[in-house]
Amino acid sequence: MATPSGTKLSDLLIAIGLFALVGTLLVPACDRAMGRAREEARRIRCRGNLNQLAKGMATYLNECGDNRFYPWPAGYAGCGTAESPDFGGAEWLAALYWTRIIPDPGVNLCPSSPDTNEGGILMGSNGCPGGNPLAPGAVSYAAMGDRSVGIYLASKQGKGAAYATSKLPIKDDFSPNEPMASDDTQPPINHGRRGNGSMSVLFFDSHVECWTNAKVDLERGVGQGELCMLMN
């Protein structure tokens, strides 16, 4: 049987089948390409968040530090959480919001990770001027906490663990290649999958590097190896 133009119906069916096969092959490839593009956009936004946190921390130290590294506003007692009175890395970053140095709470969230640090507890300001707490799940980055900063400063000044306090004077700047914050590394992995994923790491000179599983354990890297000073 042929159409008025002379084309056989079987030829049309073959052509339709070929188009359907090509579409079936192309759709997954397009989905993968779109997925990669979306993830790259999230990585760019994540790097931007960490850059903003670095700038905020520089302002924080200049305004609140008084030549010391206070992971809470100088002169205000009781800032922190009952669960982590020594100020973990999540509180350190939350303090930038509590003090309104970074007014956008979204800067504390990695766009690829639902991980919440601190078990998702309310990041209350507990005495900071004006209150201004953060909701549960508001911080998904890891950073230096009170104890880790103290250990770092004590080691740089040749002091023992008994002197490990963040209130030691800062005689020298932190090393520019010292990590100051990163994506958290509790599951799920922030960017991608274990075999081909990555995480963003912020350094004290404000640059951000993308580390793969060849560089760091993407599920347990915080607190280990080169990230040993970072805390959830």
Q: What is the per-residue pLDDT across 118-163, written as a single tens digit (0 to 9) for each?
A: 777 777 766 566 667 788 788 889 888 777 777 777 777 777 766 6
Is 88 a member of any domain?
yes
Closest CA to 181 of 199, 198, 194, 166: 199
Is 15 a member of any domain?
no
Which one has a higher pLDDT value, 115 or 53? 53
Is 9 a member of any domain?
no
Residue 117, pLDDT score: 76
Residue 78, pLDDT score: 53
pTM: 0.76
What mean pLDDT comes out for the span 160-176? 65
* Span between the terminal Cα atoms of the chain, in Å: 72
Query: Looking at the 3D structure of the chain, how many domains does it have?
Result: 1
Is 17 a member of any domain?
no
Confidence check: pLDDT of 215 > 80: yes
Task: Return phi, psi of residue 107, to 5°.
Answer: -65, -25
What mean pLDDT comes out for the span 95-102? 85
Structural domain of residue 99, as residue ranges?
43-231
Is 5 a member of any domain?
no
Distance CA 68, CA 146 (A): 12
Decide: 166 and 229 in contact? Cβ < 8 Å. Answer: no
Confidence of residue 15 (pLDDT cuts 50, 70, 90): low
Confidence of residue 196 (pLDDT cuts 50, 70, 90): confident
Torsion of CA 58, 62, 64, 67, to 10 degrees: 120
Residue 8, pLDDT score: 64
Q: How many CB atoms lie within 10 A of CB 97?
A: 23
Residue 2, pLDDT score: 47
Is 18 a member of any domain?
no
Q: What angle do CA 157, 160, 164 make, to 5 degrees?
A: 80
Closest CA to 55 of 180, 229, 199, 151: 180
Decide: 139 and 117 in contact? Cβ < 8 Å. Answer: yes
Confidence of residue 201 (pLDDT cuts 50, 70, 90): very high
Q: Which CA distances in Å does 56 have to 43, 59, 100, 161, 226?
A: 20, 5, 10, 29, 23
Residue 107, pLDDT score: 93
The residue written with tokens 């760091």 in the block is: 216
Is 156 a member of any domain?
yes
Which one has a higher pLDDT value, 208 or 3? 208
E strand intervals along 105-178: 141-144
For 123, the token pair is 């990041």
Task: Return phi, psi of residue 155, to 5°.
Answer: -65, -35
Total length of the chain: 232
Residue 94, pLDDT score: 84
Q: pLDDT above 90 covers what percent of the chain? A: 12
Confidence check: pLDDT of 74 > 60: no
Which one has a higher pLDDT value, 18 or 115? 115
Q: What angle do CA 68, 48, 32 make, to 5 degrees?
A: 145
What mean pLDDT comes out for the span 86-103? 81
Q: Which CA distances in Å does 38 have to 17, 30, 31, 35, 192?
A: 31, 12, 10, 5, 11
Average pLDDT over the chain reads 76
Residue 148, pLDDT score: 75
Confidence check: pLDDT of 112 > 90: no
Is 138 a member of any domain?
yes
